[in-house]
Homo-oligomer: A and B are copies of this chain.
Amino acid sequence: MFLFYSDNVDGQTISIAGDEHQHCAKVLRKKIGDQIKITDGQGQIFTAEITAIQKQTTICHIVDKISSKPIVPKLSIAISPTKNLSRIEWFVEKAVEIGISAIYFVHTQRTEKKSVNLERIHKICISAMKQSLQVHLPKIQSYKSVNELIENVGSDYEQKFIAYCDGPTDLLKDILKSKINTILLIGPEGDFTENEIKEATASSFTPVSLGDSRLRTETAGLVGLMMMKYS
């Protein structure tokens, strides 16, 4: 099955634009009358018939719709962008393949990379979602500090963890309760400052270890996600 992506659903009409339109009309040479599968990244798969192919847009009429359940529990990672952005982009691709509810980029005090191209991240999410035949796009947000993250999403999760080196002894997978909305906060290269750790623990983030070996930021994010998903 090949899945297209469009979040532009209006009644019975779906418009496919940008890369998705190019791929549908130019690469796969779909024609008016052809039926294609489209997901909105919100858990719905539409069977739709192409009614018009314009220069920038493919217009489809919805023939059928399948709605999949929302993913519960919510499993999310808050992570510092890495100096080498390709590493964090790699993390995003893998996290979406495995299945993640939200990715929050947190600009901690020791984060060297000051900005993340969220549009580029969104494209990586779409391609990873399609590639792995999933129909849920993760929520992507960027926050200026650990405090801003806590204030904005802290209350969305019943279970909160913060992972850092040289401190926590409890392994995430051992103290993790399953079937609860959970967020894991992963620090930058150079780790969190003491102050950030205090802020997080004061907001009921539990310090955890991800094991003995010293993991890169993006590897820690993925190991944490897998522990939450498979423990």
Q: Please, which residue of chain B has its CB at the minimum distance from the CB of A132?
A: B213
Q: What is the predominant secondary structure among interface residues of chain A facing chain B?
A: helix
Whether B173 contacts A98 by the Cβ 8 Å rule is no
Residues of B within 8 A of A226 (CB): 223, 226-227, 230
User: Which chain B residues border A222 with CB–CB below 8 Å?
Assistant: 94, 222
Give Cα distance in the complex from A214 to B173, angstroms: 24
Residues of B within 8 A of A230 (CB): 173, 223, 226-227, 230-231
- Cα(A231)–Cα(B230), bound, Å: 7
Across the interface, do B94 and A213 meet the contact criterion of CB distance under 8 Å?
Answer: no
Q: Which of A212-230 contact B (CB under 8 A)?
A: 213-216, 219, 222-223, 226-227, 230
* Min C-beta distance of A84 to chain B, whole Å: 12
Q: How far is the CB of A66 from chain B (nearest CB, A)?
A: 15
Q: Does B173 contact A216, Cβ atoms closer than 8 Å?
A: no
CA A223 – CA B94 in complex, angstroms?
10
Q: A99-B213, A227-B230, A230-B230 are in contact. Are A219 and B134 (CB under 8 A)?
A: no
Residue of chain B at shortest CB distance from A213: B132
* Residue A141 interfacial (CB < 8 Å): no
Contact of A214 among B90, B131, B223 (CB under 8 A): B131
* CB within 8 Å of B: which A83-109 residues: 90, 94, 97-99
A98 contacts which of B90, B98, B134, B213 (Cβ < 8 Å)?
B213
Q: Tell me, yes or no, whether A180 is within 8 Å of chain B by CB.
A: no
Find A213's partner among B90, B97, B173, B223 (CB 8 Å cutoff): B97
> Which A residues are within 8 Å of any B CB, using their own CB?
90, 94, 97-99, 131-134, 173, 211, 213-216, 219, 222-223, 226-227, 230-231
10 pairs from A and B in contact (CB 8 Å cutoff)? A90-B90, A97-B216, A98-B219, A99-B213, A131-B216, A223-B226, A226-B227, A226-B230, A230-B230, A230-B231
